[in-house]
Amino acid sequence: MRGVPLTVDDYRAMIGALIPPTPVTLLPLEDCLGLVLGDELVSPVSLPPFDNSAMDGYAVRSVDVAEAERHAAVALPVPVDIPAGKTDIVPLLPGTAHRIMTGAPVPPGADAIVKVEDTDGGEHQVAVLAPSSPGTHIRRTGEDVTEGATVLRAGAVLGAPQLGLAAAIGRADLPVHRPVRVLILSTGSELVEPGEPLLLGQIYESNSVLLAAAVREIGGEATVLRFVPDDVKAFHKTIAGHIDKVDVLVTSGGVSAGAYEVVKDALTGQGVDFVRVAVQPGGPQGSGSFQGLPVVTLPGNPVSAALSFELFLRPALLAAMGHPVIHRRRVRARAGTDLRSPSAKRQYRRGRLEGDVVTPVGGPGSHLLASFAASNCLIEVPENVEMVAEGDLVSVLVIN
Ligand code: AMP
Ligand code: MG
């Protein structure tokens, strides 16, 4: 462990540099949610692809219905029915109407749609009760997208609207930065699988669940090895078969200054550096490359592990997956209470932001997981601030 602690920003940069970008690969649309487009998306079709009706009604020549009124209906024969999906389109003859449904192609010869509400709804003959000027209720070819247009740029984050658009132009897959593959391993001889009985001295293992969820929340792929006891041999044996199948190994626990620090014992001198970061919580950290695999070792206290992920890994993983925005939204808010913070460390307190006031939830302790779960933001108290008074402006990271 080095003498001088690293700053949060320096350590974040180190972790950022450790995890390389994931390659761009074609993935089916259903696997693309939340991922980043790796190339521009050009539409091979126009949208709409053909002139179509915006209403259920009748395709007509506007001149044929120009005189129509409620009390002087214009009667037209209806020789053709055009439901949506009909592909053999018969041209409209002057003096006739084709019954047409929303989305169905407007027949050649028609220049307007009369909506069904302005007719008697007749099947073989229709009484038109209102005029319809040229172009009425017709959705034009290419109104939304013209063939050959770029509809999404490289770097676009694929949410529901973007995926819907990709499907609408006929894409079944997209070139995306593939999900980063994260191997997660918790350590600690006190840990017990949730659902099993607990003895005094044991606790339920929660970090791997939290970390895997945090990875998946940003579109990454998490492989959870669950946990190993504080035993160097067991540690190496557990990760052995996985090293060449993932992009990064994230461990929790076993990196502080005590005895039985399994991660430290297993990885010291193996390409992983154990350092201190001037942050509370989450001071003891480790990172480097083990057998070519980027490794980030987080401290074991649940809130330390969670915050370390938040501060160091989350931006690095987002960047690796090509995200244009890797940091949380930051706002200024008034402190709802006084706060104390250790000198020379950047403190992150869990808080609730309501309007422009932020109130701490629970104390600074790194074991207070319920407080973390009840918070919607982190209050960032800078290294040179030891006391925040109620009403002072503070910097807040919005995490929920
Ligand atoms: P360590 O960093 O291994 O010294 O652990 C610090 C504290 O976090 C101890 O109280 C551990 O019991 C707890 N802890 C470590 N790993 C986990 C885990 N995976 N789930 C829940 N608590 C943990
Ligand atoms: Mg431990």
Q: What pLDDT digit, counting tens, does each position of 245-274 carry? A: 999 999 999 999 888 899 999 999 999 999
> 79: which 2 tokens?
């020789």
**Residue of 184, 187, 191, 267 best suited for mutating to test ligand 1, as the one with most atoms within 8 Å of CB:** 191
> 290: which 2 tokens?
């083990």
Strands 150-152 and 203-204, by their bridges, are unpaired
Residue-wise burial string across 133-145, b where 16 or more C-beta atoms lie within 10 A, e elsewhere: eeebbbbebbebb
Strands 221-228 and 272-276, by their bridges, are unpaired
Once rounded to an integer, what is the mean pLDDT over residues 274-287?
A: 97
Ligand 1 pocket member 300 (CB < 6 A): yes
Encode pLDDT of 336-356 as tens digits: 999 999 999 999 999 999 999
pLDDT greater than 60 at residue 2: no
Element (DSSP H or E) covering residue 368: none
Once rounded to an integer, what is the mean pLDDT over residues 388-396?
A: 98
What is the distance between the alpha carbons of residues 334 and 332, in angstroms, rounded to a whole number? 7
Once rounded to an integer, what is the mean pLDDT over residues 172-182?
A: 98
Ligand 1 pocket member 393 (CB < 6 A): no
Integer Rg of the chain from CA? 31
pLDDT greater than 80 at residue 332: yes
Average per-residue pLDDT for the chain: 97
Place of tokens 């179509």: 52
Q: How far apart are the first and last CA of the chain?
A: 34
pLDDT score of 210: 98
pLDDT score of 111: 98
pLDDT score of 319: 98
What is the distance between the alpha carbons of residues 154 and 326, in angstroms, rounded to a whole number? 16
pLDDT score of 259: 86
pLDDT category at 123 given cuts 50, 70, 90 is: very high
Nearest to 138 by CA among 48, 7, 44, 222: 48
pLDDT score of 299: 97
Encode pLDDT of 17-64 as tens digits: 999 999 999 999 999 999 999 999 999 999 999 999 999 999 999 999
- Residue 210's identity, in one-letter code, is L
pLDDT score of 226: 86
CB neighbour list of residue 161: distance below 8 Å, 6 or more residues apart: none
Q: Which atom of ligand 1 is nearest to 299's Cα? A: 2
What is the distance between the alpha carbons of residues 356 and 215, in angstroms, rounded to a whole number? 30
pLDDT greater than 60 at residue 1: no
Ligand 1 pocket member 188 (CB < 6 A): yes
pLDDT score of 276: 97
Q: Are 368 and 322 in contact (CB under 8 A)?
A: no
pLDDT category at 8 given cuts 50, 70, 90 is: very high
Nearest to 100 by CA among 72, 142, 109, 74: 109
pLDDT score of 107: 98
Once rounded to an integer, what is the mean pLDDT over residues 288-294?
A: 98
What is the distance between the alpha carbons of residues 348 and 329, in angstroms, rounded to a whole number? 15
Ligand 1 pocket member 359 (CB < 6 A): no
Q: Please give the order of strands across the beta sheet that includes 57-60.
A: 80-82, 98-100, 57-60, 112-115
Which residues partner with 26 through β-bridges?
175
Q: What percent of the chain has pLDDT over 70?
A: 100
What is the distance between the alpha carbons of residues 73 and 76, in angstroms, rounded to a whole number? 10
pLDDT score of 400: 87
What is the distance between the alpha carbons of residues 83 and 105, in angstroms, rounded to a whole number? 9
**25 secondary structure, DSSP code:** E
| Geometric angle at alpha carbon 230, from 224 and 232, rounded to 5° | 90
Once rounded to an integer, what is the mean pLDDT over residues 207-229?
A: 97
Instruction: Read off the pTM.
Output: 0.94
How is 233-300 classified by DSSP, letter by letter? HHHHHHHHTTGGG-SEEEEES--SSSS--HHHHHHBTTTEEEEEBSEES--EEEEEEETTEEEEEE-S
Ligand 1 pocket member 302 (CB < 6 A): yes
Q: For residue 306, which phi and psi values (nearest 5 degrees)?
A: -65, -45
pLDDT score of 235: 97
Neighbours of 75 (CB within 10 A): 12
Q: Coil, strand or helix: which one is 62?
A: helix
Q: Are 59 and 108 in contact (CB under 8 A)?
A: no
Residues with CB under 5 Å of ion ligand 2 are: 188, 253-254, 300
> 122: which 2 tokens?
């007749």
Strands 98-100 and 80-82, by their bridges, are parallel
Backbone CA torsion sign across 4, 8, 13, 18:
positive
Side-chain-facing half-sphere of 178: CA atoms under 13 Å: 14
**Which residue, by CA, sits nearest to atom 17 of ligand 1?**
300
pLDDT score of 371: 97
> 97: which 2 tokens?
């109407």
> 98: which 2 tokens?
């084709």
